[in-house]
Protein backbone atom coordinates (compact mmCIF):
# COMPACT_ATOMS: atom_id res chain seq x y z
CA UNK A 1 0.00 0.00 0.00
CA UNK A 2 1.22 3.49 -0.82
CA UNK A 3 1.65 5.31 2.49
CA UNK A 4 3.42 8.53 1.49
CA UNK A 5 4.72 10.25 -1.61
CA UNK A 6 7.74 7.95 -1.91
CA UNK A 7 6.99 5.08 0.47
CA UNK A 8 5.04 1.84 -0.04
CA UNK A 9 4.49 -0.78 2.62
CA UNK A 10 3.97 -4.52 2.71
CA UNK A 11 2.34 -5.26 6.03
CA UNK A 12 2.55 -8.83 7.26
CA UNK A 13 0.18 -9.70 10.05
CA UNK A 14 1.30 -11.44 13.17
CA UNK A 15 1.28 -15.20 12.70
CA UNK A 16 -0.50 -17.15 15.38
CA UNK A 17 2.29 -18.89 17.17
CA UNK A 18 2.17 -21.28 20.12
CA UNK A 19 5.15 -19.33 21.51
CA UNK A 20 3.26 -16.06 21.76
CA UNK A 21 3.48 -12.80 19.90
CA UNK A 22 6.86 -11.98 18.42
CA UNK A 23 5.92 -8.95 16.43
CA UNK A 24 3.22 -6.92 18.15
CA UNK A 25 1.18 -5.16 15.48
CA UNK A 26 2.72 -7.18 12.65
CA UNK A 27 5.78 -6.44 10.52
CA UNK A 28 6.44 -3.92 7.77
CA UNK A 29 8.71 -4.20 4.75
CA UNK A 30 9.09 -0.90 2.90
CA UNK A 31 9.58 -0.14 -0.78
CA UNK A 32 10.96 3.38 -1.19
CA UNK A 33 11.28 5.39 -4.40
CA UNK A 34 9.40 5.59 -7.66
CA UNK A 35 7.89 2.39 -9.11
CA UNK A 36 8.47 3.79 -12.62
CA UNK A 37 12.18 4.38 -12.17
CA UNK A 38 13.96 2.83 -9.21
CA UNK A 39 13.21 1.66 -5.70
CA UNK A 40 15.00 0.26 -2.65
CA UNK A 41 13.63 -2.25 -0.17
CA UNK A 42 14.03 -1.98 3.59
CA UNK A 43 14.41 -5.27 5.48
CA UNK A 44 13.32 -8.68 4.25
CA UNK A 45 11.19 -10.17 7.04
CA UNK A 46 11.19 -13.68 8.44
CA UNK A 47 12.56 -16.55 6.39
CA UNK A 48 9.10 -18.13 5.98
CA UNK A 49 8.19 -18.75 2.36
CA UNK A 50 4.78 -17.13 2.90
CA UNK A 51 6.47 -13.88 3.99
CA UNK A 52 8.85 -13.75 1.02
CA UNK A 53 5.98 -14.59 -1.33
CA UNK A 54 3.95 -11.65 -0.01
CA UNK A 55 6.89 -9.31 -0.61
CA UNK A 56 7.41 -10.61 -4.14
CA UNK A 57 3.69 -10.39 -4.90
CA UNK A 58 3.71 -6.76 -3.85
CA UNK A 59 6.75 -6.07 -6.02
CA UNK A 60 4.77 -7.46 -8.94
CA UNK A 61 1.75 -5.35 -7.99
CA UNK A 62 4.00 -2.28 -8.18
CA UNK A 63 4.84 -3.23 -11.76
CA UNK A 64 8.08 -5.09 -10.98
CA UNK A 65 10.22 -1.96 -10.59
CA UNK A 66 13.99 -2.08 -10.68
CA UNK A 67 15.32 -2.60 -7.16
CA UNK A 68 18.82 -1.21 -6.81
CA UNK A 69 19.40 -2.08 -3.15
CA UNK A 70 18.07 -3.82 -0.11
CA UNK A 71 18.94 -1.89 3.04
CA UNK A 72 18.94 -3.76 6.32
CA UNK A 73 18.12 -2.09 9.66
CA UNK A 74 19.76 -4.83 11.75
CA UNK A 75 20.58 -8.50 11.77
CA UNK A 76 17.78 -10.05 13.81
CA UNK A 77 16.25 -12.95 11.94
CA UNK A 78 12.90 -11.31 11.39
CA UNK A 79 14.67 -8.57 9.39
CA UNK A 80 17.03 -10.59 7.18
CA UNK A 81 15.07 -13.82 6.79
CA UNK A 82 14.14 -13.59 3.12
CA UNK A 83 17.29 -11.76 2.03
CA UNK A 84 18.82 -14.52 -0.11
CA UNK A 85 15.69 -15.22 -2.11
CA UNK A 86 14.75 -11.56 -2.56
CA UNK A 87 18.30 -10.61 -3.58
CA UNK A 88 18.22 -13.32 -6.22
CA UNK A 89 14.89 -12.07 -7.60
CA UNK A 90 15.89 -8.41 -7.59
CA UNK A 91 19.53 -8.93 -8.62
CA UNK A 92 20.44 -6.07 -6.29
CA UNK A 93 23.11 -5.19 -3.73
CA UNK A 94 22.53 -5.49 0.00
CA UNK A 95 23.69 -2.74 2.37
CA UNK A 96 24.09 -3.08 6.13
CA UNK A 97 26.22 -1.95 9.05
CA UNK A 98 29.77 -3.29 9.10
CA UNK A 99 28.95 -5.34 12.25
CA UNK A 100 26.45 -7.35 10.22
CA UNK A 101 28.48 -7.73 7.02
CA UNK A 102 30.16 -11.07 7.67
CA UNK A 103 26.90 -12.70 8.78
CA UNK A 104 25.19 -11.68 5.51
CA UNK A 105 28.22 -12.73 3.46
CA UNK A 106 27.63 -16.26 4.69
CA UNK A 107 24.14 -16.21 3.13
CA UNK A 108 24.79 -14.24 -0.07
CA UNK A 109 27.21 -14.54 -2.95
CA UNK A 110 30.47 -12.65 -3.05
CA UNK A 111 30.38 -8.98 -3.98
CA UNK A 112 26.72 -8.49 -3.05
CA UNK A 113 27.00 -7.14 0.51
CA UNK A 114 28.43 -3.71 1.22
CA UNK A 115 28.72 -1.79 4.47
CA UNK A 116 27.02 1.53 5.15
CA UNK A 117 28.77 4.26 7.14
CA UNK A 118 27.14 6.37 9.80
CA UNK A 119 25.84 9.61 8.17
CA UNK A 120 26.17 8.16 4.69
CA UNK A 121 23.76 9.54 2.13
CA UNK A 122 22.20 6.79 0.02
CA UNK A 123 20.78 7.90 -3.28
CA UNK A 124 17.44 6.25 -4.11
CA UNK A 125 16.74 8.14 -7.34
CA UNK A 126 17.11 11.69 -8.73
CA UNK A 127 14.58 13.02 -6.24
CA UNK A 128 15.26 11.32 -2.94
CA UNK A 129 18.03 10.18 -0.61
CA UNK A 130 18.19 8.21 2.60
CA UNK A 131 20.50 9.36 5.37
CA UNK A 132 21.92 6.39 7.30
CA UNK A 133 22.19 6.84 11.07
CA UNK A 134 24.13 4.35 13.13
CA UNK A 135 21.85 3.80 16.13
CA UNK A 136 23.06 0.96 18.34
CA UNK A 137 21.25 -0.07 21.52
CA UNK A 138 18.54 -2.49 20.44
CA UNK A 139 21.42 -4.23 18.64
CA UNK A 140 24.99 -3.23 17.87
CA UNK A 141 24.50 -3.35 14.09
CA UNK A 142 21.39 -1.15 13.97
CA UNK A 143 20.90 1.56 11.37
CA UNK A 144 17.92 3.92 11.12
CA UNK A 145 17.29 5.59 7.76
CA UNK A 146 15.99 9.13 7.35
CA UNK A 147 14.09 10.10 4.23
CA UNK A 148 15.01 13.77 4.32
CA UNK A 149 12.62 14.94 1.58
CA UNK A 150 9.63 13.76 3.63
CA UNK A 151 11.10 13.96 7.15
CA UNK A 152 10.28 10.28 7.68
CA UNK A 153 12.44 8.18 10.01
CA UNK A 154 12.61 4.44 9.40
CA UNK A 155 13.39 3.21 12.88
CA UNK A 156 13.69 -0.57 12.51
CA UNK A 157 13.30 -1.94 16.03
CA UNK A 158 14.65 1.17 17.79
CA UNK A 159 11.15 2.68 17.96
CA UNK A 160 8.13 0.41 17.53
CA UNK A 161 4.58 1.31 16.65
CA UNK A 162 2.73 -0.64 19.30
CA UNK A 163 5.04 -1.48 22.20
CA UNK A 164 8.40 -0.61 23.70
CA UNK A 165 11.53 -2.14 22.22
CA UNK A 166 13.89 -4.62 23.82
CA UNK A 167 17.29 -3.12 24.55
CA UNK A 168 20.70 -4.70 24.65
CA UNK A 169 22.74 -1.65 25.68
CA UNK A 170 20.69 1.09 27.30
CA UNK A 171 23.42 3.73 27.36
CA UNK A 172 23.89 3.39 23.59
CA UNK A 173 20.14 3.16 23.12
CA UNK A 174 19.44 6.45 24.92
CA UNK A 175 22.15 8.10 22.86
CA UNK A 176 20.56 6.74 19.68
CA UNK A 177 17.14 8.09 20.68
CA UNK A 178 18.73 11.55 21.01
CA UNK A 179 20.20 11.20 17.50
CA UNK A 180 16.75 10.37 16.14
CA UNK A 181 15.23 13.31 18.00
CA UNK A 182 17.85 15.70 16.54
CA UNK A 183 16.39 15.08 13.09
CA UNK A 184 12.89 16.09 14.23
CA UNK A 185 11.07 13.53 12.07
CA UNK A 186 7.42 14.27 11.37
CA UNK A 187 6.68 10.57 10.98
CA UNK A 188 8.21 7.38 12.28
CA UNK A 189 7.85 4.21 10.20
CA UNK A 190 8.84 1.27 12.43
CA UNK A 191 9.55 -2.33 11.47
CA UNK A 192 6.74 -3.57 13.73
CA UNK A 193 3.38 -2.09 14.68
CA UNK A 194 1.47 0.93 13.48
CA UNK A 195 2.91 3.87 11.56
CA UNK A 196 3.56 6.80 13.90
CA UNK A 197 2.12 10.11 12.75
CA UNK A 198 3.84 12.31 15.33
CA UNK A 199 7.37 10.93 15.24
CA UNK A 200 9.05 13.52 17.42
CA UNK A 201 6.48 13.15 20.22
CA UNK A 202 6.90 9.36 20.09
CA UNK A 203 10.69 9.58 20.42
CA UNK A 204 10.32 11.99 23.34
CA UNK A 205 7.90 9.65 25.08
CA UNK A 206 10.38 6.76 24.66
CA UNK A 207 13.12 8.88 26.25
CA UNK A 208 10.87 9.99 29.11
CA UNK A 209 9.66 6.47 29.79
CA UNK A 210 13.23 5.22 30.25
CA UNK A 211 14.25 8.26 32.29
CA UNK A 212 11.32 7.73 34.62
CA UNK A 213 12.27 4.07 35.08
CA UNK A 214 15.84 5.09 35.85
CA UNK A 215 14.64 7.56 38.49
CA UNK A 216 12.53 4.83 40.09
CA UNK A 217 15.51 2.51 40.24
CA UNK A 218 17.75 5.18 41.78
CA UNK A 219 14.94 5.85 44.22
CA UNK A 220 14.82 2.15 45.11
CA UNK A 221 18.57 2.14 45.73
CA UNK A 222 18.33 5.31 47.81
CA UNK A 223 15.61 3.94 50.08
CA UNK A 224 17.40 0.69 50.53
CA UNK A 225 21.13 1.07 50.04
CA UNK A 226 21.92 -2.32 48.59
CA UNK A 227 19.61 -4.64 46.69
CA UNK A 228 19.51 -7.46 44.23
CA UNK A 229 17.70 -7.20 40.90
CA UNK A 230 14.47 -8.86 42.08
CA UNK A 231 14.18 -6.63 45.14
CA UNK A 232 14.47 -3.66 42.78
CA UNK A 233 11.79 -5.17 40.51
CA UNK A 234 9.47 -5.50 43.52
CA UNK A 235 10.08 -1.89 44.47
CA UNK A 236 9.65 -0.42 41.00
CA UNK A 237 6.91 -2.51 39.38
CA UNK A 238 3.29 -2.84 40.53
CA UNK A 239 2.64 -5.36 43.29
CA UNK A 240 0.23 -7.28 41.05
CA UNK A 241 2.74 -7.65 38.20
CA UNK A 242 1.90 -10.71 36.13
CA UNK A 243 4.40 -13.42 37.19
CA UNK A 244 5.07 -14.16 33.49
CA UNK A 245 6.34 -10.63 33.07
CA UNK A 246 8.63 -10.74 36.07
CA UNK A 247 11.62 -12.08 34.10
CA UNK A 248 11.17 -9.43 31.42
CA UNK A 249 11.00 -6.79 34.16
CA UNK A 250 14.20 -8.15 35.70
CA UNK A 251 15.95 -8.02 32.32
CA UNK A 252 14.83 -4.45 31.90
CA UNK A 253 16.04 -3.47 35.37
CA UNK A 254 19.37 -5.13 34.59
CA UNK A 255 19.86 -3.02 31.44
CA UNK A 256 19.26 0.08 33.56
CA UNK A 257 21.72 -1.11 36.20
CA UNK A 258 24.35 -1.78 33.54
CA UNK A 259 23.90 1.74 32.21
CA UNK A 260 24.16 3.30 35.69
CA UNK A 261 27.20 1.15 36.35
CA UNK A 262 28.85 2.24 33.06
CA UNK A 263 28.24 5.83 34.11
CA UNK A 264 29.83 5.24 37.52
CA UNK A 265 26.61 6.12 39.33
CA UNK A 266 26.20 2.78 41.07
CA UNK A 267 28.37 -0.03 42.31
CA UNK A 268 27.85 -3.71 41.87
CA UNK A 269 28.97 -6.13 44.54
CA UNK A 270 27.41 -9.14 42.91
CA UNK A 271 24.53 -9.85 43.32
CA UNK A 272 23.86 -6.51 44.99
CA UNK A 273 23.78 -2.98 43.67
CA UNK A 274 24.20 0.24 45.65
CA UNK A 275 24.51 3.96 44.97
CA UNK A 276 28.05 5.13 44.38
CA UNK A 277 28.61 7.92 46.88
CA UNK A 278 31.98 9.09 45.58
ZN1 LIG B 1 15.33 -6.65 16.38
Ligand 1 centroid to Cα of residue 43, in Å, is 11
> Which residue ranges make up each domain of the chain?
7-197, 208-275
- Residue 237: band (very low, low, confident or very high) from pLDDT cuts 50, 70, 90: very high
Ligand 1 centroid to Cα of residue 142, in Å, is 9
| 19 has a pLDDT exceeding 70 | no
Q: Three-class SS of residue 131?
A: strand
Ligand 1 centroid to Cα of residue 156, in Å, is 7
Ligand 1 centroid to Cα of residue 238, in Å, is 27
Ligand 1 centroid to Cα of residue 74, in Å, is 7
Class of domain 7-197 as given by CATH: alpha beta
Whether 7-197 shares its CATH topology with 208-275 is answered no
Q: Which CATH architecture has domain 208-275?
A: Orthogonal Bundle (1.10)
How many angstroms separate the CA atoms of 149 and 115, rounded? 23
How many angstroms separate the CA atoms of 113 and 155, rounded? 21
| Region for 116 from its dihedrals, namely left if φ exceeds 0, alpha if ψ lies in -120 to 50, beta otherwise | beta
Ligand 1 centroid to Cα of residue 139, in Å, is 7
Ligand 1 centroid to Cα of residue 157, in Å, is 5
Does this model's pTM top 0.95? My answer is no
Ligand 1 centroid to Cα of residue 78, in Å, is 7
Ligand 1 centroid to Cα of residue 249, in Å, is 18
Percent residues over pLDDT 70 in the chain: 97
Average pLDDT of the segment spanning 70-81: 96
Ligand 1 centroid to Cα of residue 23, in Å, is 10
| 53 has a pLDDT exceeding 70 | yes
**28 forms bridges with which residues in the sheet?**
11
Amino acid sequence: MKISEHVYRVHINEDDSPFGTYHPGGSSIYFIGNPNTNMVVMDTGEHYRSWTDQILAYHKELGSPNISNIYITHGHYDHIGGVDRLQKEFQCKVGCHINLKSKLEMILEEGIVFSIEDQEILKVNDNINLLALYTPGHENDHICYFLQEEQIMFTGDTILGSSSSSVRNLKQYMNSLEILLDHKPTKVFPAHGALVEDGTAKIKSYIQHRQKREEQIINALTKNTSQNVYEIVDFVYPKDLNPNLREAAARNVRTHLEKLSEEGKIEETSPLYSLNNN
